[in-house]
Amino acid sequence: MKLAIVILNWNGQQLLETHLPSVVNFADGHTIYVIDNASTDTSVSYIETQFPSVNCIKLEHNSGYAGGYNEGLKQIDTDVYCLLNSDIEVTENWLNPIIDTFKTEVNTVIIQPKILDYHHKNKFEYAGAGGGFIDQLGYPYCRGRIFESLEEDKGQYNDQKEIFWASGACLFIRAKTFKDLGGFDSKFFAHMEEIDLCWRAQNKGLTVAYVGTSTVYHVGAASLKSSDPKKTFLNFRNSLYTLVKNTDKSLVLVVLLRLILDGIVGLRFLLQAKPKHMIAIIKAHGSFYKALPYLLQFRHLHSIRKSHHQIPSIVWSYFVRNKKYFNKL
């Protein structure tokens, strides 16, 4: 099976200096590509001089995570893409369990490994952890991470399991599936586009899986810090995009409840003296309303939708019922 390891880069030379060596060391003969999203630093020249075996695909514009991968992957011929963040450290034998799963499970089209915290390697990392799920209102959570509560890795998720979404920090996908789905939705720009992609795959009867015998370490928030209101904007807007495009529930009711809860979160930000984040949520809702015609058209053209939630509300479970860990839900 032919696999391509593909790293999207934008002004990330420092991250490449730190993490690209581990990728090269443990590539097991598979080809490595860096898609450069019109960087203005010296990333490209660094790759070309220090890692001549790494193929560099240079884009003319920064199209974000979604658009960058959509454009760059057109130039790569392979069976499986490994979409890898530039702030990921990989480990020995991280690829074999993934490849074996693709070979034996023909309906599995997207896979995520175990994702641990680069700075605290005994803990799960925020973006993906032990595999992703969402609740009825489209709020994401993971095995090993619910909101800000992170579990220690004690081998509890060393399994192989069907999940709802795989993290874009390290996402393996069959090239044919990526093309058949039309790639990422470029309107997302960045954040949560992988959840939309995984949901669309499942709406076609395909499987998303977690393979816990493969491990990587993620720095996290390398492009946008959690304190950045832009990240708040993208997360709240894109979550609404995903929900409207894909939910099998009553659209009006689900979106109304979601908007109300978003408003409560905005008030919480205000009480925490974070008014910029409250404003980001307001802007996210405004952008969502502008995109509604496109989202509703997509929904109309794609009528088969998978029931997506295991619990009604992760917000209620976490903040009201004080359920901080996945096995307590």
* 209 lies in the same domain as 267: no
192 is a domain residue: yes
90 lies in the same domain as 36: yes
- 18 in a structural domain: yes
Q: Is the pLDDT of residue 79 over 80?
A: yes
Tens of pLDDT along 103-139?
Answer: 999 999 999 999 999 999 999 999 999 999 999 898 9
Q: For residue 308, tell me if it sits in a domain.
A: yes
Judgement on whether residues 90 and 155 belong to the same structural domain of the protein: yes
- Regarding whether 122 and 210 lie in a shared domain, the answer is yes
Q: Are residues 122 and 237 in the same domain?
A: no
CATH number at residue 97: 3.90.550.10
pLDDT beyond 90 at 224? no
- Is 277 inside a domain boundary? yes
Same domain for 183 and 73, yes or no, is: yes
> Is 72 found in the same domain as 173?
yes
71 domain residue, yes or no: yes
Q: Which long-range contacts (CB under 8 A, 24 or more apart) does 49-55 make?
A: 51/20, 51/24, 53/24, 54/20, 54/24, 55/31
The mean pLDDT value of the chain amounts to 94
Query: Is residue 288 situated within a structural domain?
Result: yes
pLDDT band at 223 (very low <50, low <70, confident <90, very high): low
**Among the three residues 184, 218, 252, which one is the final residue of a domain in this structure?**
218
pLDDT over threshold 70, residue 296: yes
What confidence category does residue 249 fall into, taking pLDDT thresholds of 50, 70 and 90?
confident
Q: Please give the full DSSP string across 218-270, using - where no structure is assigned.
A: E---SSS-TT-HHHHHHHHHHHHHHHHHH--S-HHHHHHHHHHHHHHHHHHHH
Amino acid at 170: C
Q: Output the pLDDT for position 91.
A: 98
Together in a domain, 268 and 135: no
Residue 225 has pLDDT above 70, yes or no: no
Number of domains in the chain: 2
Domain boundary among 218, 247, 266: 218
Give residue 2's pLDDT band: very low, low, confident or very high (50, 70, 90). very high
Short-list 123, 152, 125, 90, CA closest to 219: 125
pLDDT of residue 220: 83
Joined together, the tokens standing for residue 8 give: 């999207």
Residue ranges making up the domain that contains 299: 229-328
End-of-domain residue from the set 218, 243, 275: 218
Residue 222 has pLDDT above 60, yes or no: no
- pLDDT surpasses 90 at 90: yes
Residue 323 shares a structural domain with residue 210: no
Res. 248: pLDDT tops 90: no
Provide the whole-model pTM. 0.94
pLDDT of residue 250: 87
Do residues 198 and 77 both lie within one domain?
yes
Half-sphere exposure for 168 (CA within 13 Å, toward CB):
20
Considering just the CA atoms, what is the radius of gyration of the chain in Å? 19
**Co-location of 88 and 108 in the same domain:** yes
- Model pLDDT for residues 22-64, shown as the tens digit of each residue: 999 999 999 999 999 999 999 999 999 999 999 999 999 999 9
Judge if 173 and 244 occupy the same domain: no
Q: What is the pLDDT of residues 181-204, one digit of tens each?
A: 999 999 999 889 999 999 999 999
Q: Cα 123 from chain centroid?
A: 19
Percent of the chain with pLDDT over 90: 89
Q: Is 58 among the domain residues?
A: yes
